[in-house]
Amino acid sequence: MNHENADSRPDGRPDRVRDCLALALDVDDLVAATRLARSLVGHFRVAKVGLELYTAAGPEAVGALADLGYDVFCDLKLHDIPTTVARAARVAGELGVSYLTAHAAGGAEMLRAGAEGLAAGASGPAGLLAVTVLTSEAQAAATRDRVAQRMELAAEAGAAGVVCAAPDLTATRHVRPELLRAVPGIRLPDDSLDDQRRVASPVQALAAGADLLVVGRPVTRAEDPVEAAERLHDSLRQQDPETAT
Ligand code: C5P
């Protein structure tokens, strides 16, 4: 994955807080996305391009963010026949994405096709992330078995990780621990929930087993995004003596 830029602190130590943060650039304009991304590259290792930005700016968005030094998370949530997913994933790999999402609901054959297509197209490390259950369809405890089943499916199909909500992490901690857990719905206590229902603080999510925290509006819609990102870092550094300044 791309670590050319800003992956260490000014004192040369690795920035473990930055490494576990992904910035969700849910905007419809590449100029706005690039402006935000440029100002926040010191705080986030990964930039997530969702359906909105991808529909607006497509491969150009991936290239622009990679050029800024980000590992690009292409959140296309693919769900189609295996051949189509494999071919799309291959193209995403060629574009230089580090993470690509597909719906676990598409089944093992589709996930495997996506993982293999991505690997075939990528010239560096790249991993398929399986979306377990959308938060919009999640009914708390009733979904946990399904999340666990889909984690098993994802691992068997060769996915590198999963996307899941923070409240499902603890109950599934021992399921395929080798999978990277990417977790949206991250909020500090004073943040607005927006439309997120299943949230956790950054510290809670990491303690429950998250590897990559996906943060969007609390930073991107803040009056001062850099200050909001700084608060996010502070909240994590306070909990981690290795990263405390
Ligand atoms: O809420 P926030 O802007 O931090 O969202 C970050 C990401 O969380 C979004 O890009 C989307 O992928 C995901 N999301 C979610 N459930 C919602 C809203 C957003 O999982 N209800």
What value does the mean pLDDT take over residues 89-95? Answer: 98
What is the Å distance from ligand 1's center to 184 Cα? 6
Ligand 1 site, residue 172, Cβ cutoff 6 A: no
Q: Which atom of ligand 1 is nearest to the CA of 24?
A: 10
* 188-211 pLDDT per residue, tens: 999 999 999 889 999 999 999 999
pLDDT at 243: 47
Q: Which atom of ligand 1 is nearest to the CA of 165?
A: 20
From 36, 162, 186, 214, mutation site for ligand 1 pocket: most ligand atoms within 8 A of C-beta: 214
Q: Which atom of ligand 1 is nearest to the CA of 135?
A: 16
Given the residues 77, 87, 217, 237, select the one marked as catalytic: 77
Ligand 1 site, residue 164, Cβ cutoff 6 A: no
What value does the mean pLDDT take over residues 92-96? Answer: 98
pLDDT at 42: 98
What is the Å distance from ligand 1's center to 13 Cα? 31
What value does the mean pLDDT take over residues 120-125? Answer: 97
What value does the mean pLDDT take over residues 7-15? Answer: 62
Q: Hey, whose CA ends up nearest to atom 13 of ligand 1? A: 184
pLDDT at 143: 75
Residue 48 designated active-site: no
What is the Å distance from ligand 1's center to 10 Cα? 31
Q: Give one DSSP letter per residue of the chain, joined into a string.
A: ---SSS-B-TTS-B-HHHHTEEEE---S-HHHHHHHHHHHTTT-SEEEE-HHHHHHHHHHHHHHHHHTTPEEEEEEEE-S-HHHHHHHHHHHHHHT-SEEEEEGGG-HHHHHHHHHHHHHH-SS--EEEEE---GGG--THHHHHHHHHHHHHHHHTT-SEEE--GGGTGGGTTS-TTSEEEE--B--TTS--TT--S-B-HHHHHHTT-SEEEE-HHHHTSSSHHHHHHHHHHHHHTT-TTT--
Ligand 1 site, residue 215, Cβ cutoff 6 A: yes
What value does the mean pLDDT take over residues 88-106? Answer: 98
Q: Which atom of ligand 1 is nearest to the CA of 136?
A: 21
Q: Hey, whose CA ends up nearest to atom 8 of ligand 1? A: 184
What value does the mean pLDDT take over residues 17-42? Answer: 98
Ligand 1 site, residue 169, Cβ cutoff 6 A: no
pLDDT at 166: 95
pLDDT at 137: 73
* 126-161 pLDDT per residue, tens: 999 999 998 877 566 667 789 999 999 999 999 999
